[in-house]
Amino acid sequence: MPEPVRARFAPSPTGHLHVGGARTALFTWLFARHHRGVFILRIEDTDRSRSTEEYIASILEALRWLGLDWDEGPPTPGYRQTERLEIYKAHAERLLAEGKAYRCACPPEELEAARAAAQARGETFRYSGKCRDQNVAADVPHALRLKIPRSGQTVVQDLIHGRVTFDHGQLDDWILVRTDGSPTYNFCVVVDDVTMKITHVIRGNDHLSNTPKQILCYHALGYPVPAFAHIPMILGPDRSRLSKRHGATSVLAFKEEGFLPEAMVNYLARLGWSHGDQEIFSREELIEHFDLAKVGQAGAVFDRAKLEWLSNHWMRQAPGERLAHDLASYMERRGIPVPSDRRWLAQVADSLKERASTLRQMFEMGVFYFAEPANYDPPEIVAKFFTPEAIPRLALLIKRLEAQEAFEPDALESLYRGLVAQLELKLVDLAQLTRIALTGKTVSPPIFQVAAILGKERTLARLKKCLAVIEGKA
C-alpha cells in the first residue's frame, strides 16, 4: 500500500447494527489494522426522519462490544453528517460555479409523472436533462443536479468483483442538493470520503449500483477515486438476503443471548472470507491474515449452528474469572441476584464452560448452583433411582460425607469408590443419585466437581432433602 490506508465504516443510524453491517465494519477494521492504517467511524444521519440518537448509541455499543475501536469518529465533532452541512454546501457551490452541476427547476409533479410513466413501461426513471442548458436563475426554487457525460461508460475497479462497467446511458444527471437545500445521500458520501481522505471504501454489495454515480462526482470535483470493495450480502438458510424473518440479526441480540464477542468476530470474519481451511482465529490472527483478495464473490449463508460451535470453542478457552464477570453481567441484566464471591463464580463458570455456547446456556445449565432444585427431572428416569434400596445407601453416604474433611473432587471420588466397593455397587449408581440430589437433573458437569463447588454444607443439605423425598417424608 503506497499511502497510509484510511478506511471508514459509515452506518446509517436508522436501526440497530445487524450482522451484515457488523461484518462490513469488521472487514473494514481488519483491513485498516492489517495495513496499520486508520479506521474511521462516520455516522450517516442525513435522513433525519429515520435516524435516532438511540440507534447511534446502540451502534456504538455494538462496535465496542465487538472490540472494533475507531481512530477517528464520535464523540469528536465532525463525524456526523448533520454536523457537516456547510462542507456539502461549499462543494455544491463549487460544482455549480465550475459548470459541473446545474440548477433544475422541474416541478415535482412533472418529475413524478415522468417517473410513473417510466415505471409503467417497466423502465427505470432517468431524468431527461431538461434544465441542463437552461441557466435556471438562482431565485427560482431549484434542485442541483450533477452534469454527467451523455455517452461513454464508467468502470468500477472493484477489489472483490473486478471490473464492473456501467453505461452512462443507464445513469442520469442525479440530484446533489434537493429543492429544500438538503444534500442527497450519494453526494454526502462522496464529499465525506473526499474530505476525510478515505483511500478504501469497503461496503455492502447493495451499494455497488451507487458507485458509478459517486465516481462521476469524484471526477467532477477533480479528486482521485478511492479503491472500492463491495462485500457480498449475508444470506439466510433459504439463500434470500438475511433479514428479521430468519431470526435475530441485531448484534446486540447476540450479546444479550450471551455469545462471546471473540466468537462473533471469529464467525463474522469467516462469513465470506477464508484463509485456507482455518476456522478458529484469534483477533491477532485475523489482523495478520486478513486480505480483501480472499473475500468471495458469492453471498455467504448465516449458519447459527456454526456460530454456536465457535462460541463454545471460545467459551472453553476463556479463563473462569473472565467468564464469571460475563456471567455476572448476564445475570444482572436479568435481575437475577449475583453471588458476591467472584472466585466461587469463576469455579462455577469453569465447571460449565465445556458444554455451553452462550452465557444463557451456561446459566441455565448451572441454575442449581444458585438455587436448590425445586424438583427432580425427568421423572421417569429419576424414579429408577428413587428406590427402597436407595434409602440405606444414601443414608450411609450422608454419614460418610459428614465425617469427610477434604471436600475436593479427588477426595470425594475416593470416598465414593470406597463406598461402592463396600456396597458392591457401581460408581454410577451412587454418582447418579448424587447428581439428581444436587442438581435436580440427570445431566450435569462432573458430579464431584459440582459437590466440591457447592461445598459440604449445601451438598449434605441437598442429599438429606433427597433422602426425605425418597422416603416419602418430603
Q: Note the maximum CA span of the chain.
A: 105
- Phi, psi at 235, each rounded to 5°: -110, 155
Q: Mention every residue, 6+ apart, whose C-beta is less than 8 A from residue 183.
A: 46, 85, 88, 89, 92, 176, 177, 191
Contact between 11 and ligand GLU per CB under 6 A: yes
State how far the Cα of 46 lies from the Cα of 132, in Å rounded to an integer: 27
Contact between 160 and ligand GLU per CB under 6 A: no
Query: Could you give the C-alpha distances from 182 to 142, 221, 243, 427, in angstroms and in order?
Result: 12, 19, 30, 77
Q: Tell me which of 142, 203, 270, 462 binds ligand GLU, using CB under 6 A.
A: 203
C-beta of residue 367 within 8 angstroms of C-beta of residue 375:
no
- Residues in the interface with ligand GLU (CB under 6 A) total 8
Nearer to ligand GLU, 206 or 303 (CB): 206
C-beta of residue 226 within 8 angstroms of C-beta of residue 201:
yes
Q: Which residue's Cβ lies closest to ligand GLU?
A: 203
Contact between 366 and ligand GLU per CB under 6 A: no
Count Cβ atoms below 10 Å from residue 91 Cβ, excluding itself.
24
Q: How far is the CB of 7 from ligand GLU (least distance, A)?
A: 10
Q: Tell me which of 5, 7, 10, 19 binds ligand GLU, using CB under 6 A.
A: 10
Q: Tell me which of 12, 52, 209, 404 binds ligand GLU, using CB under 6 A.
A: 12
Nearer to ligand GLU, 12 or 182 (CB): 12
Contact between 60 and ligand GLU per CB under 6 A: no
State how far the Cα of 471 lies from the Cα of 430, in Å rounded to an integer: 17
Nearer to ligand GLU, 15 or 409 (CB): 15
Nearer to ligand GLU, 104 or 156 (CB): 156
Nearer to ligand GLU, 252 or 469 (CB): 252
C-beta of residue 368 within 8 angstroms of C-beta of residue 439:
yes
116-123 long-range contacts, CB within 8 A, separation 24+: none
Residue 244 is a catalytic residue: yes
Catalytic residue among 89, 130, 213, 244: 244
145: β partners = 102, 175
Q: How far is the CB of 272 from ligand GLU (least distance, A)?
A: 16
Contact between 306 and ligand GLU per CB under 6 A: no
Query: Footprint of ligand GLU on this chain (CB under 6 A)?
Result: 10-12, 44, 189, 201, 203, 207
**Catalytic residue list:** 244
